[in-house]
Chain A
Amino acid sequence: MSEIIKKNLSEIIDLLKKKEIKSEELTNLYIDKVNKSKKLNSYITTCFEHTIQKSKEFDKKPNLNSLLPGVPLAVKDLFCTNGFKTTAGSKMLENFIPQYESTVTENLWKEGAILLGKLNCDEYAMGSSNETSYFGNVINPIAKNTVPGGSSGGSASALAAGLTPATIGTDTGGSIRQPASFTGTVGLKPTYGLCSRWGIVAFASSLDQAGPMTKSVKDCSIMLEAMAGFDKKDSTSIEKKKENYSKNLKTDIKGLKIGIPKEYRVENMPKEIDELWNKGKSILKDLGADIIDISLPHTKYALPTYYIVAPAEASSNLARYDGVKYGYRSSKGNDLIEMYENTRSEGFGDEVKRRILIGTYVLSSGYYDAYYLKAQKVRQLIKKDFDENFGKVDAILTPSTPSSAFKIGEKTNDPISMYLNDIFTVPINLAGLPAISVPAGLDKKGYPLGLQLIGKTLDEQNILNVAYAFEKNCNFKNEIKNWWL
């Protein structure tokens, strides 16, 4: 297997810019490895003819000043791609071919990237292990029978296995950061509104954000720069100037104040995670940062709040799947209502149905105040916790996940134990803040673990810088042995 595809995105871009490799050659290297890696099940759809044709076109007239010059990229199958199947990991959209392109993917193609394929994910991004996908489990390349996390599990697996040089996912409650942590990769959830949601299959609209997943922090800055930007087609898109995250990346973090929230030291947290967190603190301290203890008192209410808000929004968003305009339609039923009921029963998987039912219930007449309104009030308190602390600190350091990657089937029978995976990531979505998971070490099984840096609104540059400095001083090495080949 070529050494080239083991490289980081930034190194591959350098090779392309120096004309040491052509886009078509690079594309063929990835196609070859993707074809040999079907065991991982990280791709749902490939579009190699398209990729080769576009790479040839690029090589004929290369624009080497773009951010991603002729780079083949696979993306989570939640982004609508014009003319290419977009399934959201669901039977409901098994044969759905969008007639338009999501803004975020369009931004990547404008910067020279080329679509390589669509990556597996939990059904409608609802899951933390990629086990809810209609298209089957994804395997984490770190070990057999191990989940890659979710919902952007196919993205994390493909990235770690070298089946795409970088990728993008979406994060509603941790769906970028948790799989990044499980696979020893970098994942960033931007500030709500930084990346357009237009053309992304909706899960929970007040929480969903697209973001980069990469092998290094520098790669992450390049991808974020390419995908972010104001979009008038998304009413919650933030109007602001584009930033040059990759150019402004620096390792000097002297004098920065880093908060350590005591509430993230949860019950039954493995000792290794606590040790890793301490290691993170000491690395940042050695680099000249001030470590400050802080309190985010409403942290323990974040998951219960999330499991009201997210299903409520999902039940509204997924009401559109009725078998009429697009997607699956059941052939059973004597009238329109029965057709709807059978379509939704046959088209959605168990976890999606569970969440639609929760959401329907908390929004139903007589229960709205007790659940949904209550959750929106607690969400305010969670946001306030962060607002108050960001007067005192510049960024917050926490573990990314309460455990390393687990075995397939280990948590499928108990929804609550599955939901607890997102305990450290969910509060950030509720507050709309940016956060990055950066690999920090291996546990005793040799599985990767990540640390999370949380930033102020639109302070992506700052958390990228801290993560960059951390990465340079942490000596993390992902040991993936290509055992599936």
Chain B
Amino acid sequence: MSIDKDKIKHISKLARISIDSKKSDSLAKDLTSIFKFIEKLNELNTDKIEPLSSILNTPLRSREDKIDDGKIRDKILENSPKKNEEFFVVPKVIE
């Protein structure tokens, strides 16, 4: 798989990362070599193999549906880059 500038544009849009057009050439080159490397897996026939979905031998635990924290609004807002007293503030989304 060769990754070109258009593909970089598409993936960076999906990942919500703006990529400078100057950087996208070197990124395309790096990603192309990385994909060449990971495509070594195509040598292997895995038609009859179950994909591994968990490394643990036991299923995930479930817990009782009970609240055991809360009242931490101020703590949660503590690290917000922009806030008023009770809310996170984001750029305007509705005209």
Contact = CB atoms under 8 A, between A and B. Distances in A.
Contacts of B72: 99
A305 B41 contact: yes
A416 B79 CA distance: 36
Given A235-B61, A345-B19, A378 B34 contact: no
Interface in A134-177: none
Interface string B37-63: 111111010100111111111101101
A378 B41 contact: yes
B27 A357 contact: yes
A304 B39 contact: yes
B51 A377 contact: yes
A356 B79 contact: no
Interface string B12-24: 1011111110000
B15 A356 contact: yes
Interface in B62-95: 63, 72, 75-76, 78-82, 88, 90-93
A406 interface: no
B89 to A, nearest CB: 9
Contacts of B50: 377, 380
Contacts of A358: 31, 34-35
Interface stretch (A51-59, A318-326, A438-446): A318-326
A341 B40 CA distance: 32
Given A236-B60, A324-B88, A325-B76, A348 B17 contact: yes
B2 interface: no
Highest count of chain A CB atoms <10 Å: which of B17, B80, B82, B91: B17
Contacts of B58: 238
Interface residues on A, range: 35 or more
B15 A236 contact: no
A96 B78 CA distance: 9
Interface in A334-350: 334-342, 344-345, 348
Contacts of B80: 324-326
A238 B56 contact: yes
Given A342-B18, A380-B52, A304 B38 contact: yes
A481 B91 CA distance: 54
Contacts of B7: 361
Nearest to A96: B79
Interface string A166-197: 00000000000000000000000000110000
B38 A307 contact: yes
Contacts of B37: 303-304, 307, 416, 419
Interface of B: 3, 7-8, 11-12, 14-20, 27, 30-31, 33-35, 37-42, 44, 46, 49-58, 60-61, 63, 72, 75-76, 78-82, 88, 90-93
30 contacts: A96-B79, A97-B79, A99-B72, A99-B75, A99-B76, A99-B79, A239-B61, A303-B37, A304-B38, A304-B40, A324-B80, A324-B81, A325-B76, A326-B81, A327-B81, A329-B81, A335-B92, A338-B18, A341-B18, A342-B18, A344-B18, A360-B11, A361-B31, A374-B42, A375-B41, A376-B53, A377-B50, A415-B34, A416-B34, A416-B37
